């Protein structure tokens, strides 16, 4: 009888999921139903009869949202995830089971957990409210409500997933375009000074600026970037908005043929995208 009841819970949840995705149009209904059915059937197929007696079917709504309607509040997310909620269960056990079910990585963690709690209003109607789970007492309330209102369906848990500071930093670094540090000499020139640690040419000039050149930058994009960071004003002390960057030169390090300990610098002009690519590589 318990197995039949769990199947009925799954069917009820399935109808709700169809309604959510038909109204929100977040994904193709066939894809959502297929993934949802696989999760639900896996839950029913992998549990023994003893486990089913001592657990209840639940669904996690990761990083979902709560919507209010005539029946109170309901949860929605891209794809609910089936979970077994054991009874008895404490707060730490529930968080661990949710963490493992969602297959969170080391730099992710469950931040907040909410339960769609059933209650009876003054008109003897069953409504739903959002209850945050923070401790063992809250989880006990969840289990008692699920037992008292078993006719309304499965347990629904909405959670927010956070990231550790290192996880956030890694995520930002993965989405950021790599850049190359560069020094810009506006209206500068080069000469050949007497140095001990290098030979060749060196740039000199005023209004030295540090810029970051993104990887994959083209010659036109580089000229636009240089114009943006160049000092504004009247030439020769600045650049007017009507002016354009005419010529670009790069101070290229290389090997000195007469000594491995001395760096030789040469001046090359950047004219094409290929020239810029060679500089950035």
**pLDDT tens-digit series, residues 25-81:** 444 445 555 555 555 555 444 444 444 458 889 999 999 999 998 889 989 988 899
Q: Which two tokens stand for residue 262?
A: 């001395």
Report how far residue 244's alpha carbon sits from residue 25's, in angstroms, rounded to the nearest whole number: 48
- Determine if the pTM surpasses 0.75: no
- Is 219 in contact with 270 (CB distance < 8 Å)? yes
**pLDDT tens-digit series, residues 103-137:** 988 788 899 999 999 999 888 899 999 999 999 99
Domain 2-172 classified CATH 3.10.20.90? Answer: yes
Whether the predicted pLDDT of 188 surpasses 60: yes
186-225: string of b/e by CB count within 10 Å (b at 16+)?
Answer: beeebeeeeeeeebbbebeeebeeebebeeebebeebbeb
Residue ranges per structural domain of the chain = 2-172, 177-280
Residue 183 CB partners (closer than 8 Å, separation 6+): 203, 208, 209, 210, 211
Least confident stretch, 102-111, 135-144, 235-244: 235-244
195 or 167, which is more confident: 167
Instruction: For residue 82, name the pLDDT band (cuts at 50, 70, 90).
Output: very high
What pLDDT does 1 receive? 36
Report how far residue 191's alpha carbon sits from residue 200's, in angstroms, rounded to the nearest whole number: 8
> Can you tell me the mean pLDDT for 200-204?
69
């Amino acid at each position: 009888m318990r197995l039949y009841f769990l199947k009925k819970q799954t069917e009820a949840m399935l109808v709700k999921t169809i309604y959510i995705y038909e109204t929100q149009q977040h994904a193709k209904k066939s894809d959502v139903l297929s993934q949802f059915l696989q999760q639900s059937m896996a839950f029913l197929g992998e549990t023994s009869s003893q486990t089913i007696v001592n657990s209840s079917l639940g669904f996690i709504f990761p990083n979902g949202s709560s919507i209010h309607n005539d029946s109170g509040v309901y949860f929605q997310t891209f794809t609910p995830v089936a979970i077994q909620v054991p009874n008895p269960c404490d707060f730490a056990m529930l968080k661990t089971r949710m963490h493992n079910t969602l297959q969170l990585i080391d730099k992710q963690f469950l931040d907040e957990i909410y339960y769609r709690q059933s209650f009876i209003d003054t008109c003897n109607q069953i409504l739903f409210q959002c209850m945050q789970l923070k401790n063992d007492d809250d989880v006990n309330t969840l289990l008692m409500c699920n037992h008292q209102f078993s006719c309304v369906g499965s347990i629904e848990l909405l959670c927010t997933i956070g990231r550790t500071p290192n996880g956030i930093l890694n995520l930002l670094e993965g989405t950021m375009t790599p850049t190359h540090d560069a020094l810009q000499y506006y209206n500068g020139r080069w000469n050949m000074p007497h140095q001990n640690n290098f030979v060749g040419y060196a740039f000199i000039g005023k209004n030295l600026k540090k810029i970051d050149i993104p990887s994959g930058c083209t010659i036109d994009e580089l000229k636009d970037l240089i114009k943006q960071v160049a000092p504004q004003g009247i030439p020769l002390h600045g650049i007017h908005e009507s002016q354009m960057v005419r010529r670009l030169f790069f101070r290229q390090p290389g090997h000195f043929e007469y000594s491995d300990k001395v760096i030789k610098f040469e001046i090359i002009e950047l004219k094409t995208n290929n020239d810029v690519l060679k500089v950035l590589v």
